[in-house]
C-alpha cells in the first residue's frame, strides 16, 4: 500500500481527504479490465496502459474512490497519484 500526502485538503462528495492510500495488491484482473473499459468511455476512445486516463481510473480503483475524485485533484496531486499507477504497471 502506498500513501500519498495531498498538497492541500480536498473535499469530495462530503468527505475530506488529506492523503490517499492506494493498494494495487488488492486489484484483480477483472479490476484491470473494468478500469480499461471505464477509461475508454471517459477518453472517448480506446486506451492503453500508458494513458493517463487509464492510470487515473486504475489508481481510483486501488484507492477505493471513484475516478472523478482522482481527475479533479490539483495537478500536483494528480501527477503523484497517477505516477503510482504507472509504476505499478511498469513493474508487472
pLDDT by residue (tens digit) across 39-62? 999 999 999 888 999 999 999 999
10 conformational bin, left if phi > 0, alpha if psi -120 to 50, beta if neither? beta
Residue 82: domain span: 2-91
Q: Decide: 52 and 35 in contact? Cβ < 8 Å.
A: no
Read off the pLDDT band of 92 (50, 70, 90).
confident
User: What is the distance in angstroms between the CA of the first residue and the CA of the last residue of the chain?
Assistant: 16
Q: pLDDT value at position 49?
A: 86
Element (H, E) at 16: strand 15-22
What's the structural domain count of the chain?
A: 1
Give CA–CA dist 90/10, Å, rounded. 28
Chain-centroid distance of CA 60 in Å reads: 4
Q: pLDDT value at position 7?
A: 96
Amino acid at each position: 500500500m502506498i500513501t500519498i500526502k495531498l498538497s492541500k485538503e480536498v473535499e469530495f462528495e462530503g468527505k475530506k481527504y488529506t492523503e490517499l492510500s492506494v493498494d494495487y495488491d488488492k486489484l484483480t484482473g477483472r479490476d484491470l479490465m473494468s478500469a480499461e473499459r471505464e477509461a475508454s468511455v471517459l477518453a472517448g476512445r480506446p486506451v492503453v496502459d500508458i494513458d493517463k486516463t487509464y492510470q487515473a481510473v486504475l489508481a481510483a480503483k486501488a484507492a477505493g474512490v471513484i475516478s472523478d475524485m482522482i481527475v479533479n485533484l490539483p495537478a500536483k496531486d494528480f501527477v503523484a497519484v497517477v505516477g503510482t499507477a504507472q509504476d505499478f504497471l511498469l513493474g508487472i
